[in-house]
Structure 1
C-alpha cells in the first residue's frame, strides 16, 4: 500500500507540473487591461486535448501502479520463482529510450519549422518503437522456449501481463504517431511553417505520451531485474 501510494503521488506530481507548464494554472481574470481591448482575433488556446491526455495518463498510471502493487504482494508468496531476465530486454530498453529522445528532437524541429527534421524524427521514433516491441516478443519467446511458461509460476504470468499491457499502450501511441506522420509527409515543403503550426500540438502530445511510457517501462524493468528487492523488504517491514 505504501508503494502504490508513493508511485501515484509521484505520477500526480509529474502530471501537475506538466499541466502548469501548459499554462493551465493561469488566471486570466487577474490580467491587467481595459475591458473590450482583448484580442479575439488570435488562435484560441487548445487545452482540451492536453487535459484529455493528462486524464488518460492518470488512469494509465493508476493501472500500472496497481500492477506494481500486485507484484510486491505476490512476489512474497512461496510459489513465486523469479525468472531470468533475457539479455534482449536491455537492448529493447535502449531502443525505447532512443525512441523517446527521437520524438523530443521532433518537438524541437516542429517548433523551429523544420519539416525535414519532423519527418526524420517521426520515422526514427516509429522504427525504434516497433523494434522495441519486437524485442519484447523475442524475450517472451526465449523464456517460453526455455520452459518457464510451461509450469505454473506467477512470475511468468506477471511477465506476460506487464509486457502485454505496456505493449498495447505503445501500439495505441503508434496509431497516433502514424496519423501525425502521414500529415507530415503529405505536407508540401513550400508551406512547411504553416503545416507544422497545425501539427505541432500532435507532436507535443505524442512526445508527452512517449516519455510517460518510457518512465513506466523503466519502473517495470527495475522490477523484472529485481533491483527493487531491498525496497520490497523495507515496505514489508513497515507494514508488518
Structure 2
C-alpha cells in the first residue's frame, strides 16, 4: 500500500535587506574598488620612475584627526537616537556636519600648501595622484555632508527616533566608511610619498 502523503517542502524565505541599505552597500563596494584601483595605479606608476618625492603637509594630520573625531560624534548621534534623546542627536549631527565641512576646508587649504611647494595637479604624476585621490575622497565627503544635513532635517521633523533608525544607521555607515577610507588613504600616502 502506497502512502498518499507527500512531503512538501516549505519554500525558503530569501534573505531580506532594505533596498536602500543594499544600494548603499553596493555603492560602498564600488567606491572601495575605485580607490583600490587608484592606489594600485599609484604604486605601478611610482615604480616607473620620474616620481617627485615631497613631504605631505603637516595639516593632513589635522584633517585626519578632524574626520576621526567626526566619526566619534556620528556614533554618539546614533546612540542618542536609539535612546530617543533627539536634542543630543541634533547636537551630535550638527557637530559631525561642521567637522565634515572643516575637513573639506582643511583639504582645500592643503591644496594651497601643495601649490606653494610647487606640487601641481599638472606636471609630475606624484602630484596628480595626490590631487585626484584627495579630491575624489573630498567629493565623497561632500555627499556625506549632504546626507548628514538630510538626516539632521529629518531629526528636526521627528522622523529619526528609536523606532525609526534606518536613515541614521545608513548615514552612520556611510560616514564611518568615509572615515576609514581616509585613514587608509592617509596611511597609504604616508608610506608611499
Which TM-score applies when normalising by structure 1?
0.70
Range with greater deviation from structure 2 (147-156 or 169-178): 147-156
Partner of residue 50, structure 1: 21
Partner of residue 176, structure 2: 211
User: Are 2:121 and 2:128, in contact at CA under 8 Å, matched by a contact in 1?
Assistant: no
CA distance in 1, matches of 2:54, 2:63: 18
Partner of residue 125, structure 1: 96
Which TM-score applies when normalising by structure 2?
0.86
Deviations 1:187-224 (A, max 9, x none): 3xxxxxx7514652111111111111111111110122
Partner of residue 125, structure 2: 154
CA distance in 2, matches of 1:143, 1:80: 16
CA distance in 2, matches of 1:150, 1:178: 31
Deviations 1:123-179 (A, max 9, x none): 010011111111111111001022121872111001100011000011111111111
CA distance in 1, matches of 2:126, 2:17: 44
Determine whether 1:107 maps to 2:78.
Answer: yes
* Residues 1:150 and 1:105: Cα distance change in structure 2 (over 3 Å): closer
* Residues 1:224 and 1:89: Cα distance change in structure 2 (over 3 Å): same
Partner of residue 113, structure 2: 142
Aligned length: 181
Deviations 1:102-136 (A, max 9, x none): 11111111111110111011001001111111111
Range with greater deviation from structure 2 (87-96 or 171-180): 171-180
Tell me how far 1:87 sits from its aligned partner: 0.8
User: Are 1:83 and 1:156, in contact at CA under 8 Å, matched by a contact in 2?
Assistant: no
Partner of residue 174, structure 1: 145
CA distance in 2, matches of 1:174, 1:109: 19
Q: Which residues of structure 1 form unaligned runs of 5+? A: 1-27, 31-44, 188-193, 230-240
* Greater RCO (CA < 8 Å, at least 6 residues apart): 2
User: Are 2:120 and 2:127, in contact at CA under 8 Å, matched by a contact in 1?
Assistant: yes
